[in-house]
Structure 1
Amino acid sequence: MQLEIRPDPAEVGRARRWARSRLAGSGITADEPLAETLILLVSELVTNAVVHTGRPAVLRLCLPGPAAEECPSATVRVEVTDRSSRAPVPRCADDDATGGRGLALVDCLADRWGWSPEGAGKSIWCELDRCSQPRQSAALACGGGLSAYGDLAFEAV
């Protein structure tokens, strides 16, 4: 499944709504912790693409089918491909900054994540294992306020 994303901040909300609408068909209910984590990851990756590239992007979701509810290896994958070849780079975000923590959140919440060049641009992806232990909230998982990173946060550019 994929969604074309225009370089407009309003697209982030549209991407969240689109992702939520796809969850039920995969057997992931809206009240599962996985659902909220997935929506947060979609939001962060799409925001990075829209804000930092100013170019169109593509959001892809790979969701397990309804029968995968009992499958311990079911993995959910979120991938955003954009047309900027600039790699994700570390960025310092102080306590008052309103941005710059997106990839730190992805790192805390996803079971795996990474990026690779794709054509003239890049693809940033993350995966969640459906049947892994429930994750804590972002603040708790990252030591409260993402302190596991000290003053360092990440953004995709």
Structure 2
Amino acid sequence: MQLEIRPDPAEVGRARRWARSRLAGSGIQADEPLAETLILLVSELVTNAVVHTGCPAVLRLSLPGAAAEGATVRLEVADRSDRAPVPRCVDGDATGGRGLALVDGLADRWGWSAEGAGKRIWCELDRYAQSHGTATGCPAGAVAFGGGTACEGLAYEAV
């Protein structure tokens, strides 16, 4: 499943609604913690794409079937910007700059890879995982992040 995203901040809400509408068919209930986390991750990755690249993007969502216990949910946002995610140090008063640090804390795995003239940022959630934050299963050529931030206040921004 995929959704074309215009470089407009209003697209973030549309992306969240689109993702919510696909959850029920996969057996993920709207009030399940996985659903809430997934919607937050959609919001963060799509926000980064539309705010920091100024380019159209594509949101892809791979949801397990209703009977797939223990399956992995994969979220990808591909955009036409070749600029890699850049670490940012933010202070406690900053209103932004924590999006990918949040992804790092919530996803079981995440990373990014160059794709043609752009890039793809992805994250995965294990449906019944007990812990988060390990960077495993990265595709070849991908730069993976996981396991928590290296220093307090360090965040990542996709640009």
TM-score bracket for the superposition, by shorter chain length: 0.7 to 0.9
CA contact (8 A) 1:33 1:134 kept: no
User: Which stretch shifts more, 125-134 or 50-59?
Assistant: 125-134
For residues 82-121 of structure 1, the aligned pairs below 5 Å read 82-121=79-118
Corresponding residue for residue 73 of structure 2: 76
Question: Structure 2 unaligned runs (5+)?
Answer: 133-147
Give the letter for the 1:154 counterpart: Y
TM-score (structure 2 length as normaliser): 0.87
2:5 aligned residue: 5
Q: Residue type matched to 1:77 in 2?
A: R
CA contact 1:34–1:134 (8 Å) conserved in 2 = no
The yes-or-no answer on 1:128 pairing with 2:125 is yes
Alpha-carbon distance in 1 for matches of 2:150, 2:88: 14
Q: TM-score, normalised by structure 1?
A: 0.88
- Sequence identity (%): 83
SS of 2:67's equivalent in the other structure is helix
Q: Which residue of 2 is the match for residue 59 of structure 1?
A: 59
Cα RMSD of the aligned pairs, angstroms, is 1.5
Where does structure 1 differ by over 3 angstroms across 4 or more consecutive aligned residues? 146-149
More helix by share: 1
For structure 1, the residue ranges without an aligned partner over 5 or more in a row are: 136-145
AA aligned to 2:154 is L
2: CA distance, partners of 1:147 / 1:126: 16
Question: Is the Cα contact below 8 Å between 2:81 and 2:118 reproduced in 1?
Answer: yes
